Amino acid sequence: MNLRRLEYFVGVAEAAHFRRAAEALHVAQPALSVQVARLEAELGVILFDRNRRGVTLTPAGATLLARARVLLPALRDALAETTAVGEGRAGVVRVGFVGSAAYQLLPQALRRAEREFPAARIVLRQMVSQPQAAALQTGELDLALVRAPSDLPGVTGIRIIAEPFVVALPTAHPLAVLRRVAAARLHAQPFVTLPVDSGPLRDAMIAELALAGASPAVVDEVTDMPALLGLVAAGRGVALVPRSVAGLRLPGLTFRPLVAPRCKAELWLLRRRDDARPLVEGLFDLLRQQAG
């Protein structure tokens, strides 16, 4: 039984007449009669009692009509949803992200995704970088925003952001009067940073200082940027942060560019090689384009 034959049957049943049903369905009456006859042959029952004035439903026809009125809307919705998923306009995509991606890139990309993929459901999970790549492998995630590429089998990606670091300072700090701060000026300064072995972002921060011959005096280690900035604003020390983080404004907090920065805070977009779903590909391209 195909959808069109069922629609034709309902049309004839509601019109109680083949000619009127054909006009309403915009189909030739002979073609309509043939399709209804084929439906009857397929089911092995007579659905209509035919006479010169029109048609009336048989008990079997009345039973099918009651069911068809429920089934047809559900079938149409199912077909429309299937088409939308196949064309990349609907479905579920699970996106992992490091916290710092939520300051600029992710909010902008999500607003754009709402316009371009209104039927899609994007599920977000904040995670540190390394577990995200493993979650991609196992299918727990479909896309991942991380701080370094992955060499895990089946995982591929591109670098979408490489931004310099800036200095986060308490507003009353002596270095805050400068337009730019040399990394060497941070030598022996009380320093707030991410934990040791937390990943490539912390490594790049420390490398920026090391290349300038500076060795900071780490006073606090925190796991996320809001906590780091809060401690800097409270006067606990200074910090290096990716330039995009400077969009966060807190009382008592000042950002200054570095003089001749050497290292970059990288953000990578990862996916599974074998995931060719149009929606995943569409969101991958959207995130890449949004990052510029």
Q: Write out pLDDT tens, residues 115-127.
A: 988 888 899 999 9
Q: Tell me the fold of 163-264.
A: D-Maltodextrin-Binding Protein; domain 2 (3.40.190)
pLDDT at 177 (0 to 100): 96
Q: Which fold has domain 90-160+266-291?
A: D-Maltodextrin-Binding Protein; domain 2 (3.40.190)
Q: Are 290 and 109 in contact (CB under 8 A)?
A: yes
Q: What is the pLDDT, as a whole number, of residue 80?
A: 61
Q: What angle do CA 21, 26, 29 make, to 5 degrees?
A: 55
User: What are the pLDDT digits (tens) for 59-109?
Assistant: 998 999 998 888 888 887 667 666 666 666 658 899 999 988 888 899 999
CB 239 within 8 A of CB 216: no
C-beta atoms surrounding 100 within 10 Å: 23
Average pLDDT on 257-285 reads: 94
Q: What is the pLDDT of residue 76?
A: 73
Residue 139 phi/psi, 5° resolution?
Answer: 85, 5
Q: Where in the chain is the domain with CATH 3.40.190.290?
A: 163-264
Q: Check residues 21 and 189 and name the one with the higher pLDDT.
A: 189
* Closest C-alpha to 216, from 161, 165, 148, 254: 165
- Classify the C-alpha dihedral 161-167-169-171 as positive or negative: negative
Give domain 3-86's CATH architecture. Answer: Orthogonal Bundle (1.10)
CATH 3.40.190.10 occupies which residues in the chain?
A: 90-160+266-291
Average predicted confidence (pLDDT) for the chain: 91
Q: What is the pTM of this model?
A: 0.71
